[in-house]
């Protein structure tokens, strides 16, 4: 059988940032179901991360919860070290954790800019560098960045987030270009509206929900699990010739 067409992920090791809740949680559980050992990262909700680890172990998988703020470069070693010490290698990095600050442009502050960019761009850039050094030595690896439809479509009162996600697309292309010859592929998965702790309060408002649904040809808000298939594809050998690209998972929202 040609390994180029394989979706087999058994025995791989992944770090998933922001895996205690929402989309990151679904990705961690989805990878583990395919036989991947997972470092479940969180920033403050340790109990939620431990629940994800328990769910993975109960299903026969391997996982460990590791606290680290992606926006603090000094904490990255905890993630890389945990993957190495616990599982011996790193095959997949899913940069999922991100910050959103919803405020009008005229009220935006430099503090909000710095805090958002520290996590959404600087943190991802340097965590990817630390992990890519390990992957380069292994001569293979997959970096998957969770962006957003707002990397191409501006969202009102969310300019800093929009800009960070647009930057993430270029981060993806730039890293993909330099890492391709080292056997490392770097891609983005950009979700549309997904029901998570972040979006649930606003989507509970029927008027807002109807406005969102009107923009989605599939006529439903996505579940975190809707994002997992794209990540599994981009983590697997079947996508070894795909790099620097962005896959939109949005029920057709951008159409």
Min CB(33)–ligand NAP separation in Å:
18
Residues making contact with ligand NAP (CB under 6 A): 17-24, 41-45, 48, 69-71, 96-99, 119, 146, 148, 191, 193-194, 196-199
Torsion-angle region of 246 (φ positive above 0: left; ψ -120 to 50: alpha; else: beta):
beta
**Which of the residues 42, 125, 161, 248 is marked catalytic?**
161
Instruction: Compute the distance between CA of residue 56 and CA of residue 16 in angstroms, rounded to an integer.
Output: 13
Please give the span between the terminal C-alpha atoms of the chain, in angstroms, as a whole number: 37
CA distances from 30 to 1, 230, 233 (A): 24, 11, 11
Nearer to ligand NAP, 149 or 176 (CB): 149
Nearer to ligand NAP, 61 or 222 (CB): 222
Instruction: Name the token pair of 113.
Output: 């800019």
Min CB(5)–ligand NAP separation in Å:
29
Nearer to ligand NAP, 129 or 138 (CB): 129
161 catalytic per annotation: yes
Instruction: Compute the distance between CA of residue 112 and CA of residue 101 in angstroms, rounded to an integer.
Output: 7
Q: Cβ distance 24 to 17 under 8 Å?
A: yes
Nearer to ligand NAP, 185 or 196 (CB): 196
Min CB(1)–ligand NAP separation in Å:
34
Min CB(17)–ligand NAP separation in Å:
5
């Amino acid at each position: 059988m040609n390994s180029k067409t394989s979706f087999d992920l058994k025995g791989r090791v992944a770090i998933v940032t922001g895996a205690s809740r929402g989309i990151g949680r679904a990705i961690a559980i989805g990878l583990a179901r395919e036989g991947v050992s997972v470092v479940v990262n969180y920033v403050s909700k340790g109990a939620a991360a431990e629940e994800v680890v328990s769910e993975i172990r109960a299903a026969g998988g391997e996982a460990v919860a590791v606290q680290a703020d992606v926006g603090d470069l000094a904490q990255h070693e905890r993630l890389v070290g945990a993957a190495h010490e616990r599982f011996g290698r790193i095959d997949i990095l899913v940069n999922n954790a991100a910050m959103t600050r919803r405020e009008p442009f005229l009220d935006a502050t430099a503090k909000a800019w710095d805090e958002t960019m520290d996590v959404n761009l600087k943190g991802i850039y340097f965590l990817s560098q630390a992990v890519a050094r390990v992957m380069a030595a292994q001569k293979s690896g997959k970096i998957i960045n969770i962006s957003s439809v707002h990397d191409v479509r501006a969202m009102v009162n969310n300019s800093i987030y929009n800009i960070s996600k647009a930057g993430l697309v270029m981060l993806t292309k730039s890293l993909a270009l330099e890492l391709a010859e080292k056997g490392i592929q770097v891609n983005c998965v950009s979700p549309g509206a997904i029901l998570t702790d972040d979006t649930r309060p606003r989507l509970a408002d029927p008027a807002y929900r109807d406005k969102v649904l009107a923009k989605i040809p599939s006529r439903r808000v996505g579940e975190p699990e809707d994002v997992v298939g794209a990540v599994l594809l981009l983590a697997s050998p079947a996508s070894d010739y795909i790099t620097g690209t962005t896959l939109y998972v949005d029920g057709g929202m951008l159409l």
